Amino acid sequence: MNVRTAEMATKVSGPAQPIDLSLTNIKFTATPYIHPQQVKESVNNQYKTLRNKEVLSKEEVEEFQRLIEFLSIESGEYEEGLFKWRKVKSRYRKQQIPKQPEKQIENLEDYLIDKEIAEFNNIGALGRKWVVNRLNEERIYKTPDHEIEKELQHHIQVLKEHLSLLNQQQTKEGWVNQLSELGITFKGDGIAARVAECFLEEDQTNWTTLSQLKNWIDKIIADIKEKGIVDSTFEGETFEQFYKQG
């Protein structure tokens, strides 16, 4: 190298600069590459897992959100992932709301009477107890009000259908069997047959309530006892006990 060349090199490169020692602490990070299809599958699997869990944790929701960020923003999968995350987050927030204490109904019949439901109040005392017994069997008092009223209407309709079928019976056996659907039974076949005969002999008495039916049976039983036909007795005690439940 001649002198002229050396001078030109010095002008181009310039004087040497001191090294900035603060740069020695710089740390370089890198995000590992994950194939888009793998991310998509991970999002779907994690969403399915969270959806089937009864209780979600805050950490699980945040972890799912971080997983969504690996999806390509330009892709439709990213918007779908955000939608799934919002659903998970919404479910988590609902779980954080304190649950209301369970409603306690001390007496279901009194509760229903207080609600002044005409269909219930008009089926008579024994009819109301018949319906309430079945609602209690289903522990209906632990359900929301609208569900209670829905089940109430169902059982009222069932009671009416039983009474209607009872009035349509043409044989003693059919009448006694249908009577058992209303919780009314006899201790012996003799009295059951005699009461059924009285029903068939009359002008197809139509009972619209259980109370009317009970009064009619009581009258027939009293007539039988008065005439001395007492080879068997009506199970009145069981009848009364059944309808005093509730």
Smallest Cα–Cα separation from 131: which of 161, 103, 105?
161
Under the banding of pLDDT at 50, 70 and 90, the label for residue 211 is: confident
Judge whether 12 lies within some domain. no
Binned at pLDDT 50, 70 and 90, residue 223 comes out as confident
Q: Could you tell me which of 190, 174, 177 has the C-alpha nearest to residue 225?
A: 190
pTM, whole model, 2 decimals?
Answer: 0.50
Structure tokens at 55: 């209780």
Indicate whether 18 belongs to any domain: no
Examine the domain organization and report whether 171 and 192 are in the same domain.
yes
Residue 169 pLDDT > 60, yes or no? yes
Looking at residue 162, what is its pLDDT?
87
Residue 127 shares a structural domain with residue 53 = no
Q: Is residue 4 part of a domain?
A: no
pLDDT, position 63: 93
177 shares a domain with 86: no
Closest CA to 234 of 196, 204, 208: 196
C-alpha angle with apex 19: 17 to 25, nearest 5 degrees? 155
3 state DSSP class of 234: strand
User: What's the whole-number mean pLDDT along residues 72-88?
Assistant: 83
Which residues partner with 145 through β-bridges? none
Same domain, 114 and 88: no
Number of domains in the chain: 2
Q: Is residue 227 part of a domain?
A: yes
Range of the domain at 46: 36-96
Query: The tokens of 106 are what?
Result: 């001390």
Contacts (Cβ under 8 Å, ≥6 apart) of 67: 39, 42, 43, 46, 81
Which residues face 234 on adjacent strands? Answer: 186
Same domain, 50 and 146: no
Q: Are 156 and 177 in contact (CB under 8 A)?
A: no
Q: Which two tokens stand for residue 124?
A: 């008579």
More confident residue, 232 or 73: 73
Q: Is residue 2 part of a domain?
A: no
Residue 81 and residue 142 share a domain: no
